Amino acid sequence: MPKTVLIVEDVQDISKILSLRLDMYGYSYVLASNGREGLARMREEKPDLVLLDIRMPDFNGFDLLNVMLADDEICHIPVIMCTASAEADTEARCLEMGAKFYITKPFDHVYLRTCIDSCIGPPEGEK
Amino acid sequence: MGGTREKASILIVDDNPAKLKAIKGIFDGMALDVSSATSGKDALKLILDVDFAVILLDVKMPGMDGYETAEIVRSLERTQNTPIIFITAHLIDETDISKGYSLGVVDYVTSPIAPEILRAKVAVFANLFSMRDQLRKIVESNADGIVIIDDGGNTCLVNPAAELLFDRPAASMVGEPFGFPTGDNVEIEVLRRDREPLVAEIRTVEIEWEGRHARLMSLHDITDRKKDEILLQEAKDELEERVEERIFELSTLYDLSKSIGWVVKYEDLFRLGVSSIGKVMDFDLVGVLHSTESSSEIVITRTTPIVDTVVKEACGILIEKFNTAGGTVFGPDDYQLHVVDAFPKEEGLPSSESLTFHACTPLDVGEKLIGTMIVASTGENAFTDAQVRLFETIANEIGSAVHRLNSLMESEERRTRTIINSIREGVLFIDTDGRTTLSNPTADSVLELYALRQDREKDAVREVVEKALALPGSHAEVEFETAHGDLLRNYHLEATTVQGMNGDISGTAVIIRDITNEREMERLRSSFLSSISHDLRTPLTSVKEYVAILLDGYGGDLSAEQEDCLQIASRNAERLQALIEDLLTVTRIEAHGFNVSKKDTPFSSIIDVCIKSLLPKARKKEINLEAESSSGISVYVDQLRISQVLTNLIDNALKFTPEGGEVKVKTQAQNDYLLVSVSDNGRGIPKEEIPRIFDLFYKVSTGDEYGAVGGTGLGLFISSEMVTAHGGRIWVESTLGEGTTFFFTLPISSKKAGLRAFLSDAVDHSLKHDLPLSVLVMNFEKANTDGIMLNKVKQNLGPEDHVIIYGNDLESMVVAMFTEEKYTKQARERLVSGVPGDIVNAESLCFSKERRNPRMVLGEVLKKLSPVHQKV
């Protein structure tokens, strides 16, 4: 079984291109189009990695991160935060809260792959 | 010679009457009284009654002869100087002649007598006699005293005037020493029996007296003149004194009227009046009643510790005077009383129970009565009329000044009120007792609404006023938020202390500004920036990534034409991205400036990231991009910002360097700074463009030569701003056709330098915001680089502790806290119990304002770092 990545992203075009890339690299993926769905998927699927958009309506990336870090079941899952509305302190905030990486959109897919790799290693086998 | 003078007398003595007659005949026709005697005896009888000018004496006579007679004549005082001419019938021998001369005989005439000769000789003596007679008469009749003294200092002659002067008979003086100073223009004082002393002025002339040298002194009685002089001097002195007094009074009045023109406060005015009065008279109390339409006050200044009942008494007099002078009658208690004590506190007991003397005068200008003024004394000595008049003059001056001040105040207040009321901002003036003495409608309405809602406006106002009074800059700002209907409104309070004329703080001016719109604009701008970046980046991400995935072979192989088209799309998407990023950065800089979060960062890691990200671009252009690895030097920077700068410079170098060229990054430590250079061997920059190269939107004109360069004109501007924000410097050197080198400097963070910079910031912050400063120094068991320690510490400190943290080496951590010492200690307790096992020790240091200089703080902190950590 290839490692599973959960994509939490409200813009469909973006989640699609992310899934295409993951597919291309050989990972399997699960999609969630908002924060609450993302949390539910996380609890159901226990993915190996979460690609988490920050700016989402209602329940945003930070909210999700806070809840998951407090949940012993899923707090260990590495998270890569991803946003298009970067403000000066966003990166620091993400890393302080416990995210492993922080990527700004438009992202460089080479850098994205490097980050994924450094979190969970290649699609098959141990990290 | 005057014709009135008496004839001189001569005496002829001869025993022969025929001869006597003959000689007498010789003098017929001369103005002489000729007496004759026929014997020495008869002659002596005559000379007792008459002073003769000359005696013609026959030598040879029976009985008493000429010699004998001459001897007796000489022996008598009256005649001792009377010249004697001997008449002889024949030649006498030498012995007789000398015998005659020794007796004082002046001449000899022998018979037969030559009448002309005798007449001539007698005429000489007669003249001499009458001249002497004249002289004596002059001397005797002179009103001035005349005294003649000889060389031995003995008195020879004293005239009647002198007798009178000395109050002594001449006889008691002649022959005695004179006994007074002599000389010319000498004044002597003569003490006289039974009569007043007398002052005489002496003039002295040298004369011949009785054939000897002598001095004639005329003594002029100047006693009266002296008395007059003294009287005159006294009169003059008195006059001068009065003139001086008058001048002093005038100058007091002048000083008063001169300085009174500048006074703009009633109390200063009264103080000035009191001091002026004090210059011209001694008093115990001065009081002023000042009455305006709205209020009346009495200011009493007491210069001695008189009792309060006396003060009351003075108030009563002032009021009574005011009422009788036609003022609006008011009762005994319708005024405010201020008592000013102008005497040393320790000064003794009350001087008296009641006023013994006072002068009270109305203060009026034209028809208008504005008050009354009193000066009073409890002593015995009343004021002189002149002093009272002067007091009234001073009171007049004060009256006009008060009147002038009244109208000035009125117009000034009207003007101030008009201005203040028309100001859009709220304006308050709070006096030193915390009372609002002035406010405009804006302030009133804001505070009224605020008070209705929250009953907190006083708090906000009091807070800002207290802050302003406490701060050395005398200026403070506070913001508050309040609901206005359904709307939240933000207000900004700014307080500035106001100094009075004497330099003391007289109150605080508070300006209330509605900053709701500004806050709203800031919120809008911030959310606009955030959403515009999101809205631009999200579609761009799709464009970029879908093109990229096609180029990566998703969807099958591409034809050369298809790939070419997609490459163009990709390149332009990159450009669009760069443009958007730069624009957002510039917008952010212009809105807030930079938010730089500095940390110690090994510069090699920054270079590595930049080179790695740009290597593909360099390879594409076959440019040799290399970096001389820096020797592990760390810099105290915001890694993200500096990466952006370095990337931008390398990217530029790649753009402007032809294929096959070279781009090199070098670093070199220079004292506290790291010098970074990015050099290429490209086209170079024209000299005239170099000064403008870091300007906003500036683009170098040669850019397009290598095609597809298309910068935004923002990159170097942003780089320059960022380097400057780090305290560094950026510049460029370039030679056209040979290449360009960009240089910039960054602060090196030896641990100490980083710590110094951090502490210096903390000190600045605390001083700027007037906050306490304490520093918590923690040493950990082992280095902890995964960020967990930092998070743990942060969780245990929390935002309420007002902290900034330095310590990414994570063997130690230094926390600056801007709270009071006790809270710092509490925070330390929380840390020690909340992060157990990891903390070796945690100590808090407190820095009073005087000790708060970066060097001192650094020294203290370094001492608290464990020795292992200090070394690094």
Output the CA torsion B237→B239→B241→B242 (10° steps). 170
**Residue tagged 């056709």 (tokens):** B737
Q: Which of A21, A91, A106 sits opposite B544 (nearest CB)?
A: A106
Tell if the CB–CB gap between B545 and A11 is shorter than 8 Å. Answer: no
Shortest Cα–Cα distance, B544 to chain A (Å): 7
Average pLDDT rounded to a whole number, residues B643-652: 90
The DSSP result for B557-598, as a single string, is ---HHHHHHHHHHHHHHHHHHHHHHHHHHHHHHHHH------
Better pLDDT: B572 or B489:
B572
pTM: 0.40
> Which one of A84, A104, A109 has the shortest CB-CB distance to B545?
A109
Stretch B810-818: mean pLDDT, rounded?
Answer: 75
pLDDT range class, residue A16, cuts 50, 70, 90: very high
Answer yes or no: is pLDDT of B599 > 80.
no
Put simply, the answer to whether B640 touches A91 (Cβ < 8 Å) is: yes
User: Is the model's pLDDT at B706 over the cut of 50?
Assistant: no
**Is the CB of residue A69 less than 8 Å away from at least one CB of chain B?**
no
Q: Mean of the pLDDT values across residues B539-557?
A: 90
CA distance A33 to chain B (A): 15
- Nearest chain B residue to A108 by CA distance is B545
B-chain CB neighbours of A17 within 8 Å are: 541-542, 545-546, 549
Q: Is A98 on the interface with B (CB under 8 A)?
A: yes
Partner B contacted by A45 (CB < 8 A): no
Residue contact B531–A85, C-beta within 8 A = yes
Residues of A in contact with B548 (CB under 8 A): 109
**Cβ within 8 Å, pair A88-B588:** yes
Q: Count of CB atoms within 10 A of residue B822's CB?
A: 11
Contact at 8 Å (CB) between B249 and B280?
Answer: yes
pLDDT tens-place string over residues B13-51:
988 888 888 888 888 888 888 998 988 888 888 888 888
- pLDDT of residue B690 exceeding 50, the answer is yes
Amino acid at B421: N
Instruction: Give the lowest-confidence range in B323-337, B583-597, B759-773, B777-791.
Output: B777-791
Q: Which residues of A touch B613 (CB under 8 A)?
A: 108
The mean pLDDT of A63-89, rounded to a whole number, is 87
Write out chain B residues lying below 8 Å of A106, CB-based.
Answer: 537, 540-541, 544-545, 573, 577
Query: Looking at residue B707, what is its pLDDT?
Result: 42
Rounded to an integer, the average pLDDT of A12-34 is 93
Q: How far is A84 from chain B (nearest CA, A)?
A: 5
Phi, psi (degrees; rounded to nearest 5) at B230:
-60, -45
Angle at B872 between CA B797 and CA B796, to 5 degrees: 10
Q: What average pLDDT does the segment A62-80 reach?
A: 92
User: What Rg, from alpha-carbon coordinates, does chain A have?
Assistant: 13
B187-232, pLDDT tens digit by residue? 888 887 777 788 888 888 888 877 778 888 888 888 888 888 889 9
Statement: residue B454 has pLDDT above 60: no
User: How far is residue A7 from each of residues A58, B12, B540, measured CA to CA in Å?
Assistant: 17, 183, 19
What number is the average pLDDT over the span B677-695?
A: 86
User: Is residue A14 less than 8 Å (CB to CB) from chain B?
Assistant: yes
From chain B, the residues in CB contact with A108 under 8 A are 613
ipTM of model: 0.86
* Angle (deg, nearest 10), helices B603-620 and B639-655: 30
Give me the pLDDT at residue B4, please: 47
Sorting pLDDT into bands at 50, 70 and 90, what band is B131?
A: confident
Q: What is the pLDDT of residue A34?
A: 93
| pLDDT at residue B794 greater than cutoff 90 | no
A87–B contact, CB cutoff 8 A: yes
The predicted structure's pLDDT at residue B20: 87
Q: What average pLDDT does the segment B363-367 reach?
A: 78
Q: B348-362, B396-410, B456-470 — which is least confidently predicted? A: B456-470
Please state which of the ranges B195-204, B306-315, B819-828 shows the lowest mean pLDDT.
B819-828
CB contact under 8 A, B554 and A20: yes
Residue A58 reports pLDDT greater than 80: yes
> A21 at the B interface (CB within 8 A)?
yes
| pLDDT, tens only, B749-793 | 666 666 777 777 788 878 877 888 888 888 877 665 555 666 677
pLDDT computed for residue A126 by the predictor: 61
Q: What is the mean pLDDT of residues B801-805?
A: 63
Centroid of chain to Cα B646:
59
Q: For B605-641, what is each residue's pLDDT tens digit?
A: 888 888 888 888 899 889 999 887 655 677 888 888 8
A95 contacts on B by Cβ (under 8 Å)? 787
Query: Which among B700, B702, B698, B697 is positioned nearest to B683, based on CA atoms?
Result: B702
Please determine, for residue B383, whether its predicted confidence score (pLDDT) is greater than 50.
Answer: yes
**CB nearest to A85's CB, from B534, B540, B790:** B534
Instruction: Report the distance separating Cα A80 and Cα B772, nearest Å.
Output: 40
pLDDT at residue number A47 = 95
User: CB distance B537–A89 less than 8 Å?
Assistant: no
A45 CA: distance to closest CA in chain B (Å): 27
CA distances from B754 to B405, B604, B721, B782, B784 (A): 62, 17, 21, 20, 18
Residue of chain A whose alpha carbon sits nearest to that of B541: A106
Which chain B positions have a beta carbon within 8 Å of A55's beta carbon? 534
Instruction: Mutate one of A23, A85, A101 to test the B interface: name it (highest B CB count within 10 A).
Output: A85
**Element holding B726 (H helix, E strand):** none
**Residue B474: pLDDT over 70:** no
Which of B722, B543, B708 lies closest to B648 in space, CA to CA?
A: B722
Chain B residues whose CB is inside 8 A of the A20 CB are 549, 554
Nearest CA in chain A to B616: A110
Mean pLDDT to the nearest integer, A54-59:
87
Asked if B538's CB is within 8 angstroms of A105's CB, the reply is: yes
Which one of A98, A104, A109 has the shortest CB-CB distance to B548?
A: A109
Predicted local confidence at residue A57, as pLDDT? 85
Contact yes or no for A84 and B541 at CB 8 A: yes
Q: Which residue has the higher pLDDT, B500 or B171?
A: B171
Distance CA B529, CA B55 (A): 155
CB contacts of B791 in chain A (<8 Å) are: 96, 98
Task: Express as a percent the part of chain B with pLDDT over 90.
Answer: 7
- For the segment B709-751, what is each residue's pLDDT rounded down to a tens digit? 456 677 888 888 888 888 889 999 988 888 899 999 988 766 6
Query: In the predicted model, is pLDDT for residue B811 greater than 70?
Result: no
* Residues of A with Cβ-Cβ distance to B537 under 8 angstroms: 84-85, 104-106
Closest CB from A20, A86, A88 relative to B595 = A88
> Are residues B443 and B427 in contact, defined by beta-carbon separation less than 8 angstroms?
yes
Smallest Cβ–Cβ distance between B530 and the set A14, A87, A92 belongs to A87
Q: In this model, does residue B161 exceed pLDDT 50? A: yes
CB-based contact, A95 to chain B, within 8 Å: yes
Q: What is the mean pLDDT of chain B?
A: 80
Mean pLDDT of chain A, nearest integer: 89
Of B581, B562, B571, B549, nearest in space to A109 by CA: B549
A&B contacts, CB < 8 Å: 66
Contacts of B270 (CB under 8 A, 6+ apart): B288, B290, B299, B301, B398
Best of A9, A17, A69 to mutate (most B CBs within 10 Å, chain B):
A17
Q: Rg of chain B's alpha carbons, rounded to an integer?
A: 63
Residue of A66, A83, A105 to mutate when probing chain B, most B C-beta within 10 A? A105
Closest Cα of chain B to A42: distance in Å? 24
* CA distance, residue B709 to nearest chain A CA (Å): 21
DSSP alpha helix (H) spans, B593-638: 603-620
Question: Is the model's pLDDT at B386 over the cut of 60?
Answer: yes
Q: Which residue of B has its CA nearest to A90?
A: B530
pLDDT of residue B483: 67
Judged against a pLDDT cut of 60, whether residue B452 lies above it is answered with no
For the segment A64-74, the average pLDDT, to the nearest whole number, is 91
Q: Kindly tell me if the per-residue pLDDT of B347 is higher than 70.
A: no
| Residue B872 Cα distances to B127, B816, B869, angstroms | 139, 21, 6
pLDDT of residue B5: 52
Q: How confident is the model at residue B801 (pLDDT cuts 50, 70, 90)?
A: low
**Across B527-549, average pLDDT:** 85
Q: How far apart are CA A11 and CA A65, in angstroms?
A: 19
Q: What is the pLDDT of residue A37?
A: 94
Residue of B34, B94, B82, B43 whose CA lies nearest to B65 = B43
Q: Average pLDDT in the B648-654 region?
A: 90
Residue A102 · residue A91 · CB < 8 Å: yes
User: In this complex, which of A14, A85, A105 lies closest to B530 when CB atoms are compared?
Assistant: A85
> Is residue A115 within 8 angstroms of chain B, CB to CB?
no
Residues of B in contact with A87 (CB under 8 A): 529-530
Quickly state the pLDDT bin for B808 (edges 50, 70, 90). Answer: very low
pLDDT at residue B1 above 60? no
